[in-house]
Amino acid sequence: MARPADVAAFALGALRGYRLRTLLMLVAMGIGVAAVVVLTALGEGARRYVADSFASLGTHLLIVLPGRAETRGGVPTTLMGETPRDLTLDDARALLRSRHIRRIAPISVGGSVVSWRARQRDSIVLGTSADFLAIRRWSMRRGRFLPRGELDAAEPVCIIGETVRRELFGVTPALGRWLRIGEYRFRVIGILASSGRSIGVDTQELVIIPVASAQAIFNNPSLFRIIVEARSREDIPRAKADILRIIRARHQGEEDITVITQDAVLATFDRIFRALTLAVGGIAAISLGVAGILIMNVMLVAVTQRRPEIGLLKALGATPRTILLLFLAEAALLSSAGAGLGLVVGQAGSWAVRLGFPVLPAYAPWWASLAGVLVAVGTGTLFSLLPARRAARLDPVAALARR
Amino acid sequence: MTALVRLQGIRRDFRVGDQVVHALDGIDLAVETGEYLAITGPSGSGKSTLLNVIGLLDRPTAGRYELRGEDVTLLSDEQQAAVRNRTIGFVFQFFHLVPRLTAQENVELPMLLAGIAPEERAGRAAAVLDRLGLADRRHHRPDQLSGGQRQRVAIARATVMQPALILADEPTGNLDTHSGAEVIGILEQLNAEGITLIVVTHDTGIAGRARRRVHIVDGAIQSDRARDPAHGETG
């Protein structure tokens, strides 16, 4: 019985002996694996992009909105004829009684003209509290955020985004200046750092003031929403139950709010993108199947081409098993090399995608790369079983007779 | 003394369409160790089929074949492969060298199939090639060798496992007269050293050199005679 190392060396020699054929098969296998790697990298990149966007919103958050949603995760229906009760600052404060809630930030929002001396612009004015900065994981470029204190203290201070600062103040230092929002005057105490990616809001165009001041400007005692941060991820369901219980108690037993957990939304996105990744990976895997059939075809041709060689090997004492092994080794080497090549090309492709679209973390998941390589080597070898068997069964007399 | 090869009532039928062709039609033949036998006959007489049966490349339809006293028709494919590897060396008309392998690697093939370690293979192959005057051609591929050199590589390959029996099928059929004589000279030298030699040929010159000549017509032995000294050495 021939030694395994000799079988491998002989198969390698045969592959080297038919360069063009080997090269074409490597390309076919390589394209298949590379397609799997790049496409799953794109899918995974998209999934992580969305996941990261949510993470930048802060972790284990719950959002409380006035009005009840009829479907999970949907928009609150205020069109049902029932007018929900206001969500008030007292409601917000009451939520802190739950031991599953770490901190809260009430939000009151509206648009207003913001001006300094002759310059003015329309801006989104966000009323909130000191904890908002930590909950949203934003940071300050200069100065400080809203002072800690009673939620209903309407202090005349504001924090502005970078665009607002540039357009109103230009080169003049903004800290300490008094600007005008509607009829009220506010002192600038901080400037927000642009926080990069964040869903929904552009931090650079914001003006942030104490929530009580915002309620005064917009003359609206109801909050837009309350952002709640649970103590931990595990606390989220209990925090949600607590919120519903506390507000119901305060609203005469009426459950007229909606609580959205960030997790639920994220999980939905996650499922969608994972399914998408699997789908594109699966489509790419079809090309691996095609490559497998190509390998079978090529091996069948090789067996026909090399009939004299097979006959000779048999005459020299090769058992049918040895012949089978020789051809299987050839196919396995071919598909492994092709898979290796595809892996390299695929990684290079993913890298190029990341270079072209820096926001997209296009890394192929390890399981997809592994599956791609395994499927490639598996189909390559499996599809060669038939040609290899044919070679092993070849009648040596007939094989030698042909020239 | 047991014959090296003993054939009794060997038949080999081929089915062509719905006709049965008797390629071998009841062959009885015994070959002693060390003999030098030529098998002759017209094309299609069955002489190559006979050689294939003796070489275990083909199974007879009926009859008994003993090699060194053992009935080899009963062996499995794997066992027959092992017997071919160790006991029988083949020399073909078309050399049958593997084109992508060097002379040395071609000679190593039977040893590779036997699972012999690379170091030992290299030494033995080099020694045999050296003996056949191919020391400086060891690393040449077949397409860089002349016909005579190719056939000498093939002989080196046939003898490297030190077989008891060499089967040569028209070994000079593809060579010029000079190379042909050289190859026959080598084979006869091997025979002189004790290897049994069976040559299939329709070259009467070569057949005349053999010590025993078996003539086959239509799958049956028509004549089997020792060389007539008066007509010998005409090649």
Q: How many residues does chain A have?
A: 403
Inter-chain touch A314–B57, beta carbons under 8 Å: yes
Per-residue confidence band for B229, with pLDDT thresholds at 50, 70 and 90 = low
A115 domain residue, yes or no: yes
Measure CA A236 to chain center: 22
A97 with A41, same domain: the answer is no
Query: Could you read off the pLDDT of A57-89 as tens digits, one per residue?
Result: 666 888 898 887 654 444 444 444 455 678 899
- Chain B CB within 8 Å of residue A313 CB: yes
CATH number at residue B222: 3.40.50.300
Same domain, A216 and A282: no
Beta bridge partners, A369, equal none
Work out whether the CA dihedral B212, B217, B223, B224 comes out positive or negative.
positive
Q: Å from A341 to nearest chain B CA?
A: 25
Using CA atoms, how far apart are residues B158 and B153, in angstroms rounded to an integer? 9
The predicted structure's pLDDT at residue A198: 54
| Residues A239 and A294 occupy one common structural domain | no
> Considering the domain boundaries, does residue B101 fall inside one?
no
Contact (CB, 8 A) for B85 and A313: no
pLDDT tier for residue A199 given thresholds of 50, 70 and 90: low
In a domain, A305, yes or no: yes
Q: With the CA atoms of A7, A8, A12 and A17 taken in that order, what torsion angle do they form, in degrees rounded to the nearest 10?
A: 0
Residue A231's identity, in one-letter code, is: R
State whether A251 and A271 are in the same domain.
no
CA distance A340 to chain B (A): 26
Look at residue B156 and tell me if it is in a domain: no
φ, ψ dihedrals at B217, nearest 5°: -135, 130
Select from A230, A273, A304 the least CA-distant residue to A62: A230
What residues make up the domain containing A225?
Answer: 85-255
A315/B55 touch (CB, cutoff 8 Å), yes or no: yes
Banded model confidence at residue B13, pLDDT cuts 50, 70, 90: very high
A101-116/B5-16 β-pairing: unpaired
Q: Which residues of B touch A318 (CB under 8 A)?
A: 81, 113
Q: Is residue B141 part of a domain?
A: no
Same domain, A190 and A116: yes
What total of structural domains would you count in chain B?
Answer: 1
- Is residue B208 assigned to a domain? yes
Task: Give yes or no: residues A108 and A251 share one domain.
Answer: yes
Write the pLDDT tens digit of every residue in A115-171: 998 899 999 999 999 999 888 888 898 999 999 988 888 899 999 998 899 999 989
Query: Is A394 part of a structural domain of the chain?
Result: yes
A209 located within any domain: yes
Are A124 and A246 within one domain? yes
pLDDT at A337 over 90: yes
Type and span of the H or E element at A211: helix A211-218
Is B123 within the bounds of a domain? no
Position B119 in a domain: no
Residues A383, A298, A29: CA angle, nearest 5 degrees? 70
Alpha helices in chain B (DSSP H): 47-54, 77-87, 103-114, 118-131, 147-159, 177-192, 204-209
**A215 plus A325 within the same structural domain:** no
Q: Are residues A220 and A296 in the same domain?
A: no
How far is it, in rounded angstroms, from Cα B146 to Cα B134? 11
Range of the domain at B201: 5-96+162-231
Residues 359-398 in A contacting B (C-alpha not used; CB under 8 Å): 396-397
- Report how far residue B93's alpha carbon sits from residue A114's, in angstroms, rounded to the nearest whole number: 102
Strands A225-230, A101-116: pairing kind: antiparallel
Whether the per-residue pLDDT at B232 is higher than 50: the answer is no
Whether A296 maps to a domain, the answer reads: yes
Reference A145, options A181, A188, A190, A175; nearest CA is A190
Residue B234, pLDDT score: 40
Asked if residue B181 lies in contact with residue B131, where contact means CB atoms within 8 angstroms, the answer is no
- CB of A181 within 8 A of CB of A217? yes
- The answer to whether residues A271 and A366 belong to one domain is yes
Is B131 domain-assigned?
no
Asked if residue A230 belongs to a domain, the reply is yes
Indicate the average pLDDT of chain B: 91
Q: Do A170 and A212 share a domain, yes or no? A: yes
- The answer to whether residues A32 and A134 belong to one domain is no
Residue B95: which residues within 8 A CB-CB, separation 6 or more? B142, B147, B150, B151, B153, B154, B174
What's the total number of domains in chain A? Answer: 2
> How far is A302 from A329, CA to CA, in rounded Å?
13
A63: in domain: no
Query: What is the percentage of chain A residues whose pLDDT exceeds 90?
Result: 42
The reply to whether residue B113 touches residue A397, judged by beta carbons under 8 angstroms, is no
Considering only residues A265 and A105, tell me which one the structure prediction assigns the higher pLDDT: A105
Q: Is A319 on the interface with B (CB under 8 A)?
A: yes
The answer as to whether B76 is a domain residue is: yes
Residues of B in contact with A21 (CB under 8 A): none
* Helix (H/G/I), strand (E/B), else coil: B219: coil
